[in-house]
Structure 1
């Protein structure tokens, strides 16, 4: 038995000796790769190891971002309001709510209060809406501030708004325009002419052509009236101030028809100017308010 154990130990020793003889003393390939790997990760003398922010940026095309809607979906009522009066401000178009305060007040002069449902409604609304925005009156408070001064043709609209606390600015405008539609004045030629406004990015040639078309859609009596003359002047001063400086002195002693034709002629000449001078001006940048606006910096009860 002892002899058998001795033979097993001798055999195991010979196997270990033969394995050591077969194994290479060094592996230059692996050693070189190991050294290269260590040198790549080992910082150079005097330099700190690279931080994560020095690595190449991740391809941004693989990052999913929240898609932005191409356009805001309007309700049927908002579409009706925008078609009747493009200058109407909807909630998503008002971005200054953080600076508003209910203490900011606007005093609407008697001549600008809504009483008669006629073509003057749009010019009044333009003045009132602009004043609300300039005075930093909260958007949710606009309806209440307006309907408190409505009467006569709009008395029914006022009562409806008072009985519906959730009335918003677009809802009140919709009710006003529905009243005008019921009285057959919303789409009358005089109303259409009075609410003319330049579209975004519209050139002077296009806008003055639309003015002329609407003007000749008026009755003979309306074409020669002082009201039409004032409306033409207001439209030109608001959206075409660079043309108004030329047109105003030429209007003296001339008829309204002559004024419209002169307007188109001047626009044709200006259309040959550089592109920037070719465009109409936004109403917000050139609207002179006829309202008394309280100083929003003063704390008033």
Structure 2
């Protein structure tokens, strides 16, 4: 015989029914966090933005009809193309040389490290406009280039008057200047990769060039890309400095046009909107490239 006990009978709920009780987290009252100052800041920002947009639309000083007339004018579009060419050539050549300089600084050779450091020191110290003017006036400094025995007779020479034109001088100056900064960006990205990655790859017998190409650089790109994108955008806007060499890039062409018709503000807005649009495109490309190299590293 076994003794059993029936569950207690509750007169309100009937037999065999347990009375639920709130315990633990169920007994807590959830109150959402309120951010009154955040909403106040949002409202103040919206008011300031609305006032700014209202001024853009209603202020006749902006002369939007003149802006619309010149925004897609042939001379402006040609100037935009020149600006893009300068940016492309300066970026490609600058980063190609910068990668070489970065690995020279990371090499075990004191000579290569010294050469790379001297180059970076020199081109970061001299203002870009001075470098551009030096290259533009190369024929004044050296009327001819001679090849032969050092400090001895030359075998052949050629005139430098037409060697470096305005566009070539601009590309050369921008690329050499950019290379100094690109070298430090690449070097910083490579140093950010843990040494254990290379040591593990070497232990597996992977050749050094493959370690660099398949293991080190893909991880270094996560650190390189944000800074490199900033440099490219800075170079894109910095191409306006070549206007001192009378090259028909965007800012120079805008200056020429408003020098003729006196419409300074709308022509400056033409240049501003083009810079904003193209910078936005570069920023979108940066986002997708960064997302590609972030695979496996970011959720």
TM-score normalised by the shorter chain: which range applies? Answer: under 0.3
Is the radius of gyration larger for structure 1 or structure 2?
1
Using the size of structure 2 for normalisation, the TM-score is: 0.23
Q: TM-score normalised to the size of structure 1?
A: 0.23
